[in-house]
A and B are shown apart, each in its own frame.
Chain A
Amino acid sequence: MRFLPTCLAHTYPALSPADPPANQLPQIKRSFPNLRHVCFHGNKRNTPGQLTYPVDNFYEGDSPPSPLVTSYVDGDGIVDIKSLKACENVQGMNTEVIAIEGEEHVQILHSEELARQVLAFLVGDHDRQTH
């Protein structure tokens, strides 16, 4: 396996507010063919669930107000656990949810346990030809 990936060339054009209306966009309802899906997430981190801005309106002062987190929930420090586990709702896929205990949203990428699980999936279970 090469460790430096070949990347898509990608530019970042200015966003246009003139996007087409919804009825001109693809609205495709179809099934996934029992695709295997592994959904990794961290947990047991205080994660913001409710934000309070100590202002009367958002335009007070010269800079945007900073919020106070007035309610924490379980999650990975960024995303709450209900949202992380909502991958189970992806229908038509064979979804397996795996919690990497105590890991944070970004730091999970440095987790040895995650690396081990990913490698096991790639090497052990994903070695098939189709054409």
Chain B
Amino acid sequence: MNETLFGAPYDFRLAGDGLVQDGFEANLTALIEGAVAKNGNRTVTLIGHSMGGMVATYFLAGKPADWIERHVGGLMTISSPYGGSPLALQGSISGASIGLPIMVHAFLGIQDNSPSGPWLYPSQGLWNASVPMVRTRNKSYPPTAKGFADLLQDLGRREQSIILPRVRNMRGIDFDAEGGPSYPR
């Protein structure tokens, strides 16, 4: 009793579907159900920072409404990139520290093939498709499906190329909907 604060670390390399496959979602479900049971059936509040907010939202999108009603009273997201970020593109190209005290080039070896990279690419519905988001001396990459695909091809990121179209629309969450990302109704 009196245990009211619980942590749920996830593998940040994975996108939402990968977190289902590696057992995170089942573990989080059990953690929440246990927390509710330990605390007199009080519902929990999920709190996620940055990508953690995306993970929490994706988690809830896979739960039946009555399960949420019985177990989750609220969601707090902090600094969550619901419309993606240009720095996710940088992560695929050259590594990005995203504000953390890490060596960027060492991090690149993790970021360049992680499914979470394309999951956090900028939402095509939020940005002007005619304005390049990434440029080299002789090529431009706009924030469009083709722009992202061209970029990954030029980087030789085969795994992320395969993953890209899949992670942009999962569980009814369409990251590239016109007007910005669209979540289930």
Contact = CB atoms under 8 A, between A and B. Distances in A.
A32 B66 CA distance: 9
Secondary structure dominating the interface of A: loop
A12 B23 CA distance: 11
Pick the most buried of B57, B78, B83: most chain A CB atoms within 10 A of its CB.
B78
22 contacts: A1-B5, A5-B6, A17-B159, A25-B166, A26-B171, A27-B171, A31-B65, A38-B74, A50-B86, A51-B86, A51-B90, A51-B133, A51-B134, A66-B94, A83-B82, A85-B82, A87-B82, A105-B99, A106-B50, A121-B74, A126-B74, A128-B73
Pick the most buried of A83, A106, A121: most chain B CB atoms within 10 A of its CB.
A83
B99 A35 contact: no
Contact of A53 (B18, B87, B134, B163): B134
B171 A130 contact: no
Given A7-B7, A57-B136, A33 B65 contact: yes
A7 B10 CA distance: 10
Contacts of A108: 78-79
B105 A15 contact: no
A59 B28 CA distance: 41
B162 interface: yes
A6 B154 contact: no
Given A26-B62, A49-B86, A80-B86, A8 B69 contact: no
Contacts of A31: 65, 184-185
